[in-house]
Every structure is written in C-alpha cells, then in structure tokens.
Structure 1
Amino acid sequence: MSTPALEREARYTWGGDEFLFVEVDEAMSLAANFKVMTLASKLSGAALEGVTDICPANASLLIRFNPDVLAPSVLEATVRGFEQDAAGGGAETLATRIVEVPVWYDDPFTAEVAQRFREGFHQEPSGTDLDYAAKVNGLTDAAEFIRRHHEQPWLVSMVGFVAGLPFLFQLVERQKQLEVPKYLSPRTDTPRLTVGHGGCFGAIYSVRGAGGYQMFGVAAAPIYDPAQTLADFKDFMVFFRPGDIVKFKPVTEQEYAAIQAEVENGTFRYRQAPVVFELNKALEDPERYNRELMEALDGM
C-alpha cells in the first residue's frame, strides 16, 4: 500500500557548509516518520566517509558532514537515491525492537510537583494532570486515561531536546490519538523519568529540569546513564533510539521499589525483543498489528 508521505518528494535545504536538512513533510505522521527512519538507516548503512552525524526527527532528517571529505552534491544525490527507493516500495519494513517500560502512574513525585505549579501555570489549577488529560480526551476518569495510555504501544519518533529524551507517538488511528495541551507556562521543575504528554506526543524526561508537558507518572528505570553502569547501556549512554517501539507497563509502588533496588545493585534489564516493523500492516489495522508486536515480548 502506497502512502503520500512516501511518494511525496522531500525538500532539501542547506545549513551553512556542513549541514543538509531533508524535510519529508510539514506534519508528523507515521508514514512520514517511517520514511525519515528509512533514510537515516540507509545512510548509516552506507557509511559514507565524511558524514559525521545523522539526526532523524519527527518528519525531517538533519545530516552533518565534512565538505572537505564529502562533496555536497554527492551527499544530496545519495540521499535522493535512497528516497527514490522508498517511494518505489523499498521502505515497507524497518528492523527495530520493542521495549517494555515499567511506569508508576499517579505517583507522589509528579503529584507534588504538579501541585507546586498550578496557579498561573495550569489550565485547571484545582485538579490534577491526569484528571485534566481525561477530561480533554472525553474519557470517564483518570483510570480510563491511564488504560488508554498503556494498552497500545508507542513509536520513538525522535530522541533529543535534552540528552536521551524520547518523543513518543502512539501507534493508533488518528481519531484515537491522545492529545493533551502543554502547561500554559512551563514549570521550572520536572522529576527525572517523568512520563509526560504535550500535544500528540508523549515523552520520558531523562533528567530533572524544566518542562511543560502534563505529568502522568514516573518510569521505574533510567533511560540515560552517562556512567554506563547497567548492561543495557554498555554500548551507549542513551537507551532509546529513533524507531524503537515502547510498551508501557503499569507497576505498583512495591514493584517500583523492587525495580529501583535492581537498578541500584546493577542487575536491572529492560524486557525487549527484536521486531521487524511493517508500515502497511500498521496503517491497515493498527490494533491487530499492535497485538502482534506486543506478542514478541511474551517469550522474553
């Protein structure tokens, strides 16, 4: 099945002498992001001498290169060739992984911070972020929102803004997307590993700091480990990669504490499994394909 985002030609622009910017689409969509991931994967696999960094984003790709080693015309021609392959049906699958992320929803850490930043910061100062998220999505209560949040997987559409922070796009039909406005004014504090949401994007705050996303809970294990003390970080201090698929798993306070103990003694490992993501299946029947993806974790 062809999609406009795969067939539409990207816009190529230059940033000074060292950057090529490839805009696949003006808006985020699964197909547009899939094309970005495909271009990034093919360019990385080509191992062109002179390419120093490849930064995939929601609907665009930024490439840094050394023009003294790699001619700009050669780089552009190479990427355009990959794009033509994608338009011709060469971007239908992507080798990636699905990861289970344990989350303590409605936790006391984000609740305390949320109460400190209500008046003048939040749309509804008298409530909670979860209550507000449920209301704007037309759901019965916070419990229903939490269920909707974790019952379907999410795609890591890009990583950045701060070190290791993943932007997450839920793999559901557009009309079922959870959408929640950001705070009216950004907070000056957000707990580390906060699971938040702004617009149609979810996120996990890799470090403590400022933020404007609604806060729903905290992830139980680190996603950014500069010391690389855990086995999941042996290759790189940032855990998530663009194209990863995330399945949130609700945990209790006791389960959260047990995971924290595993992290402390260095034994924690994320449950994860390799998968081949198929765009056509995801677009044709998201719920059925999501079940297929999540079954990959059952044997782990």
Structure 2
Amino acid sequence: MSARRPSRYSWGGDEHLVVQLDEAMSLEVNFAATAMTRALADRQLAGVADICPANASFLVRFDPDVIAPDVLEAQVREVEREVESAPSLALRTRIVEVPVWYDDPYTNETAARFRDRHQRPEGNDLEFAAAENGLASTEEFIARHSGSPWLTSMVGFVAGLPFLYQMVSRERQLQVPKYLRPRTDTPPLTVGHGGCFACVYSVRGAGGYQMFGVTPAPIFDPTQTLGDFADFMVFFRPGDLVKFTAIDERRYREIGEEVSAGTFRFRQQEVEFRLDDFLAAPDEYNAALLEVLDGR
C-alpha cells in the first residue's frame, strides 16, 4: 500500500473508537478501511459489539468492562500496520447486477413537485445531470452511468442504503450537486446521485440526491422473505461491486412480479478484487469483472 498521512484515533464516550484514515475519500483509502474492518472482525475480540466502516473511516463499538480501551486501540493499530505493510491488497467480494428503469415516471413526477428546490427548474434530474457533465443527451449519461462498475464504499444513513463510488479514473467520474434544499419525498428504490456518489434509496423518505430512475429489486427486507436476505435484512455490504443495467417498463414489471412471488434473486458472482491491478489498467480490469458477472 502507498504511504499516507497517519490515521487519527479518537473516542466517542466510553464505548466508541473512531479511526479516520484520511480526510478525503479515495479508492485506496476506502479499500484500506474495508480491509482493516474485515481483519478486525476476523479477530473476534471479546467485548467488540459492532464495527461500522465508512468512506474514509470506521467506528468500533465496544464494552469497556470486557476489553479496555488501550487494549482495543493496540489491536486496531496492529491491524492497521498489517494492512499498511501488505505489498498488495485483495478482497473477496461479489459483483452484483442492479436493474434500473431510467427516466421513469415515479421519480420524474416527484422531481416535478420539488422543482422550486432545484438548480434547474426546467426539465428533470437526468437532463440536469447530463448538462452538468457536458454530455450531449440523457442517453449518453445513462450509458456512462451503467457502463462501468461501482464500489460500495459504505452502507448507512437509512437502513440498507449503499453509497457507491464509480470505478473509473477521477477525471471521468460523473459528478452532480445535490438539490439546493432536500425533498420531503423520494420514491422507494430510487437510484440517486450526489457529488461523486450514487446511491439506492432503500425506503421512501426525504432526500437531496438527483433522481435518475428506480430499481424493482429490494435492497432492504426486514421480513427476510427473499432468498438474498436469508442471512441479513440488508443486502449490500461494503466492498460489493455494483453494475447498473438499464431495463424498460416491461422488465421492471416482470421483476416486480418475481419479488411479489418471492422468487427474485439478484444476478451476482463472487470475485477477488485486487486494487493494484485495477489502478494499473481500470478499463481492462472493469471489462474482466463484467465478464465474470456474465459467467464468462
């Protein structure tokens, strides 16, 4: 791993240790945070109740009556040294296809109701995003949005919501500002975008990200009815790779029927993601990942 500034360790009350690896999000920093939290979890330290990774940091909740703060900090620093000294890092993860009905009527109707909170009163969010990125059409924007994988950098804000970071060179990343003022409504399973991050809104509620479409595939299932939620009610995990795929209304309805029948399963494949290999040749590495998803 390349050298970076020293991490900042701080305490939140008596039960939380916060480790900030850097002030800015990057693939390298996020990869290190994911590697550290997984290695820490593998140690199964008595007294550690939860480990919550974020974009460039993570939080550890612990019981100080079981594990002393200085002992916990020493363990975390040891994990950090192991990750830092590794010649290269690889994560066992999965690549998942998320079907999206872009330019759908649900997000467009919602956007129309909140145009007074938007930078561009005319048009819709897709048209605004295309113009902001210097693209000639919404079709070109959709092709860019769905053409390369995205890394799940963290999960949170609301239950099951993934933050997704586009796996392309920084100058090619799609970026778009959030609404001037947040909406009080967002359709469930909206595919949104704010800054450099994409997301999928797991439930209906307030939001400020631009809205590009909806997916029929649930990502949060408290009843754990569907097969993909047998182990946990939240689908996405940090480190997951996501491939958006454009679908039409007919396919959106078909998948919705599969969800209602309890037969829907995400198309996904296990992969090993090697950061150095990706950084050396992003486009070639992405193509190989998509071949894995297609079973080739």
TM-score, length of structure 1 as denominator length: 0.97
Q: Is this contact kept in 2: 1:192–1:205, CA < 8 A?
A: yes
Q: Which residue of 2 aligns with 1:126?
A: 122
Gapped regions of structure 2 (runs ≥ 5): none
Tell me how far apart the structure 2 counterparts of residues 175 and 249 of structure 1 sit (CA, whole Å): 23
Q: Which residue of 1 aligns with 2:175?
A: 179
Q: 1:189-228 counterparts in 2 under 5 A? A: 189-228=185-224
Q: 1:130-279 counterparts in 2 under 5 A? A: 130-279=126-275
Q: Which residue of 2 aligns with 1:29?
A: 26
Could you tell me which amino acid in structure 1 is paired with residue 204 of structure 2? R
Tell me how far apart the structure 1 counterparts of residues 123 and 104 of structure 2 sit (CA, whole Å): 15
Q: Is this contact kept in 1: 2:88–2:276, CA < 8 A?
A: no
Tell me how far apart the structure 1 counterparts of residues 40 and 87 of structure 2 sit (CA, whole Å): 14
- SS of 1:283's partner is helix
Superposed CA RMSD in Å reads 1.0
Q: Identity of paired residues, percent? A: 61
Could you tell me which amino acid in structure 1 is paired with residue 158 of structure 2? V
Q: Residue 287 in 1 paired to residue 283 in 2?
A: yes
Tell me how far apart the structure 2 counterparts of residues 4 and 202 of structure 1 sit (CA, whole Å): 28
Could you tell me which amino acid in structure 2 is paired with residue 10 of structure 1? S
Q: How many Å apart are 1:73 and its aligned residue?
A: 1.0
Tell me how far apart the structure 1 counterparts of residues 71 and 136 of structure 2 sit (CA, whole Å): 55
Q: Is this contact kept in 2: 1:106–1:216, CA < 8 A?
A: yes
| Structure 1 ranges of 4+ moved more than 6 A | none
Could you tell me which amino acid in structure 2 is paired with residue 88 of structure 1? S
Q: Is this contact kept in 2: 1:35–1:91, CA < 8 A?
A: no
Could you tell me which amino acid in structure 2 is paired with residue 43 of structure 1? L
Q: How many Å apart are 1:273 and its aligned residue?
A: 0.6
Tell me how far apart the structure 2 counterparts of residues 284 and 10 of structure 1 sit (CA, whole Å): 26
Query: Which of 43, 53, 58 does residue 55 from structure 2 map onto?
Result: 58
Q: Which residue of 2 aligns with 1:11?
A: 8
Tell me how far apart the structure 1 counterparts of residues 25 and 290 of structure 2 sit (CA, whole Å): 23
Tell me how far apart the structure 2 counterparts of residues 63 and 90 of structure 1 sit (CA, whole Å): 26
TM-score, length of structure 2 as denominator length: 0.98
Q: How many Å apart are 1:90 and its aligned residue?
A: 5.7
> Between Structure 1 and Structure 2, how many residues are aligned?
296
Q: Which residue of 1 aligns with 2:292?
A: 296
Please give the per-residue CA displacement for 1:7-48, whole angstroms capped at 9, x wherever unaligned. Answer: x32111111110000000001000000000001100111100
